[in-house]
Amino acid sequence: MLELPSGTVTFLFSDIEGSTGLVQRFGDRWGEILAAHNRIMRESFVAVGGKEVDRQGDAFFAVFSSARHAVAAAVSAQRALSEHGWPDGAELRVRMGIHTGEPAVGEEGYLGVDVVRAARICAEARGGEVLVSETTKSLVQRTADGIELRDAGEHLFKGFEQPERLFRLAGEGLPALRATAAEGLPERGAPFPIPPDPPAPGHAADWERRAEELAEEAMRTVSELGPLDTLGPRIVRQVEDTLKHAGVAPPGREEARLGGLRSRRERAGRGRARCDCSASCCSSSPSPSP
């Protein structure tokens, strides 16, 4: 059995966005592409003392004794993946999630909620994106090479009761994130756009109309915001953030009104299929979901 570090450790999960489509596109050549991806990932881990815990298909699970080392490995891997000459101008966009905790170590490897949390963070990321937990961010603070940790907002993970704030690595050499809609979306974690010429605070009719506009806009972009079973709370939170930022909620009406938004969302959710996410970093966690 691989000797694994214990105590406070940092996990990194990764997988390739859209790998099924790439397999279909490249056929027999996919093996060569996957081998190059695996080599880049492993070299990035080893360079900072990280250890590969598991690999399933194109998904990696690695552990590091230092949060800084995990972040450095992610940055190194993303840069190398971006610079690599993939065949036929293809792009390999790898999502990564990083979290620090104090897991138990059993006969089969790491145990506990920190493993699941790290896998869920990976599932929240888009291709080319590295998301880290607030715990990891507090240990890293600043990174080298001009890399920043930008607030990516709160996220509610499958199987967890409370949302958690995540941070995105950004800086030189890291892949630019693709727009999530034809007209573009606000950066993750930012409130939905506020309509121009906001009405004066205290006008209930204007406030009602504004809340409806924001809710409708949120629903139009719902398909870009993540697994279906996490969309509702995230939409409500972003609507709440926008209303609060705009200062248009009349006293005594906000809680009741947003309660109505939640009720409509819950009714709509009953007729919607539950998430059937097959992302390997979400569904193939080495530890069972709680």
Separation of alpha carbons 63 and 9, rounded Å = 7
**pLDDT per position as a tens digit, 89-138:** 888 999 999 999 999 998 889 999 999 999 999 999 999 999 999 999 99
Q: Which is more confidently placed, 185 or 178? A: 178
Tell whether the model's pLDDT for residue 242 goes beyond 70: no
Separation of alpha carbons 49 and 136, rounded Å = 17
Percent of the chain with pLDDT over 70: 59
Q: Which is more confidently placed, 206 or 21? A: 21
pLDDT for the residue 161 = 86
pLDDT for the residue 192 = 36
pLDDT for the residue 212 = 61
pLDDT for the residue 182 = 35
Where is average pLDDT lowest: 126-130, 141-145, 237-241? 237-241
Separation of alpha carbons 103 and 114, rounded Å = 6
Tell whether the model's pLDDT for residue 143 goes beyond 80: no
Determine the residue type at 216. Answer: E
**Fold of domain 9-180:** Alpha-Beta Plaits (3.30.70)
**Across residues 139-157, what is the average pLDDT?**
84
| Pair of tokens at residue 29 | 């050549």
Q: Which is more confidently placed, 78 or 239? A: 78
**pLDDT per position as a tens digit, 23-49:** 999 999 999 999 999 999 999 999 999
**pLDDT per position as a tens digit, 251-281:** 444 444 445 444 444 444 444 444 444 444 5
pLDDT for the residue 206 = 55
Tell whether the model's pLDDT for residue 178 goes beyond 80: no
**pLDDT per position as a tens digit, 47-92:** 999 999 999 999 999 999 999 999 999 999 999 999 999 998 888 9
Burial degree of 181 (CB within 10 A; 0-12, 13-18, 19+): exposed
**Across residues 133-157, what is the average pLDDT?**
87
pLDDT for the residue 215 = 58
Please spell the DSSP secondary structure of 142-207, one letter per residue.
Answer: S-STT-EEEEEEEE--TT-SS-EEEEEEESTTSPPPPPSSTT--PPTTSPPPPPSSPPPTT-HHHH
205 falls in which pLDDT band (50, 70, 90)? low
H/E stretch holding 22 reads: helix 19-26
pTM: 0.63
Separation of alpha carbons 41 and 280, rounded Å = 16
**Across residues 216-240, what is the average pLDDT?**
51
Q: Which is more confidently placed, 201 or 190? A: 201
